[in-house]
Amino acid sequence: MSELDRCCPSATPPSRRAALGVLAAATAASWSACTTGVASAKSTSATAPSEPTSLSGDAGRSRTRLLLLGTAAGPTFTPGRAGIGSVLVVGDRTYIVDAGLGTARRFGQAGLQAASLAGMFITHLHSDHLFDLFNLLWTTPGALSGPVPIHGPGRAGALPEPYGGKSVPLVDAGHPTPGTADMISGLVAGYAYDMNIRNTESGAQTDHEKLFEAHDIVLPSGTKASATETSPAMRPFRVFEDDRVRVGAILVPHGPVFPSFAFRFDTDEGSVTFSGDTTYSENVARIADGCDILVHEVVDLDWFAANADIMGGYGPGILEHMAQAHTTPRQVGRVASDAGVGQVVLSHLAPGDPRAVTDGTWVKNVRKAYKGKVTAGRDLTQYGVGRRR
Ligand SMILES: [Zn+2]
Ligand SMILES: [Zn+2]
């Protein structure tokens, strides 16, 4: 199973899907059906969810807003949902947490401007959290107000033993675990011709290498964490601060993916914690302690168990992986209760198709362990943060 599959193991091999007749027209999803294609197959008469094109939700008079760009788990095209990505808007500045497939378009649909970008924060280096990172920065580079700090995981340092114990092909085998700074410098190098020709044909003085200011998140000294001990109990630590936000991080357990972080943003008006991809974790409860909004990932293991017959050749291994890498609704409720948060917003929904698991089902199951307000996130929904509500 590839790393990509490990984040979204429901990606059924195309031949298997065809044999099952899961997708009649699989062109767009031929590389990965994830949960969406499977759900579609079981609800062929249901209408595909419509694509949101403008903001919904009520942020009240809050100057600080949580805005969901994309809410789907996995590297997949999901009807009605972009890949995972959120924005914290603080006045005229925006801070992005993860940038999955489609989030650059959602950023524009939300009416946000590239010049507002004041920071990007990447929870971990799975592709479904990265696809639009460069697009967000590069689609309108001239409009950036200056270098954008990008904070994300550093080099893992080692890969885990291959699944099944059999060796697997590696990309760049001499340097197989690049971190955020490596990734950004590689992207800029790969786009060099485009950047150079635009400058030379227009006479622009854009110093592209300085626009993308990548920082590998450095763990506090003494943290006993590694590729084999991914999320020891620890205290949150500071990764970024300006005059609008303070951003803290903590390690979370996301299967073998290391480092994986949860982030907490504190502003003058209130606080928001993003769990990142994680299984149940006391570290998430620790960093979310008393915050106004907890944005938490979630997986419906019952749905995956019920649909195991059309999950390709993965069998029960899927459920094992999902349990080790993601969080059930009831577990989200436990984290929220332990942390005493003001409300829960579910995102990174697996499966993401609302025809597979309804908003009401997600909410009901979280509320078995948490009595506060719970919302199943939808793209382009905004929430007011803090005391001006
Ligand atoms: Zn992941
Ligand atoms: Zn993910």
The residue segments making up the domain with residue 235 are 59-157+178-384
Query: Domain for residue 26, yes or no?
Result: no
Query: Domain for residue 90, yes or no?
Result: yes
pTM given for the model: 0.88
The answer, yes or no, to whether the previous bond of 162 is cis (omega within 30 of 0) is no
* pLDDT tens digit sequence for 199-231: 999 998 888 888 889 999 999 999 999 999 999
Q: How far is the CA of 124 from the centre of ligand 1 (A)?
A: 7
Q: How far is the CA of 126 from the centre of ligand 1 (A)?
A: 5
* CATH code of 117's domain: 3.60.15.10
Query: Domain for residue 129, yes or no?
Result: yes
Query: Domain for residue 24, yes or no?
Result: no
The values of phi and psi at residue 45, to 5°, are -85, -15
Ligand nearest to the CA of 124: 1
User: What pLDDT band is residue 49 in, cutting at 50, 70 and 90?
Assistant: confident
Q: How far is the CA of 277 from the centre of ligand 2 (A)?
A: 6
Q: How many domains does the chain have?
A: 1
**pLDDT higher at 250 or 204:** 250
Q: How far is the CA of 278 from the centre of ligand 2 (A)?
A: 9
Report the distance separating Cα 241 and Cα 311, nearest Å. Answer: 44
Q: How far is the CA of 138 from the centre of ligand 2 (A)?
A: 23
Query: Domain for residue 166, yes or no?
Result: no
Report the distance separating Cα 33 and Cα 152, nearest Å. Answer: 28
Q: How far is the CA of 84 from the centre of ligand 2 (A)?
A: 7
Ligand nearest to the CA of 76: 2
Q: How far is the CA of 74 from the centre of ligand 1 (A)?
A: 7
Q: How far is the CA of 40 from the centre of ligand 1 (A)?
A: 23
Q: How far is the CA of 276 from the centre of ligand 1 (A)?
A: 8
User: What pLDDT band is residue 75 in, cutting at 50, 70 and 90?
Assistant: confident
Query: Domain for residue 36, yes or no?
Result: no
Judge whether residue 29 has pLDDT over 90: no
Ligand nearest to the CA of 101: 2
**Beta strands 64-70 and 246-251, pairing class:** unpaired
Query: Domain for residue 144, yes or no?
Result: yes
Query: Domain for residue 283, yes or no?
Result: yes
| High-pLDDT (> 90) share of the chain, % | 68
Q: Are 217 and 239 in contact (CB under 8 A)?
A: yes
CA distances from 267 to 69, 91, 264, 272, 292 (A): 20, 11, 10, 9, 11
CA 62 to chain centre: 24
Q: Which of 123, 146, 124, 148 is nearest to 134 (CA)?
A: 148
Length of the chain: 389
Predicted confidence at residue 30, as pLDDT, reads 23
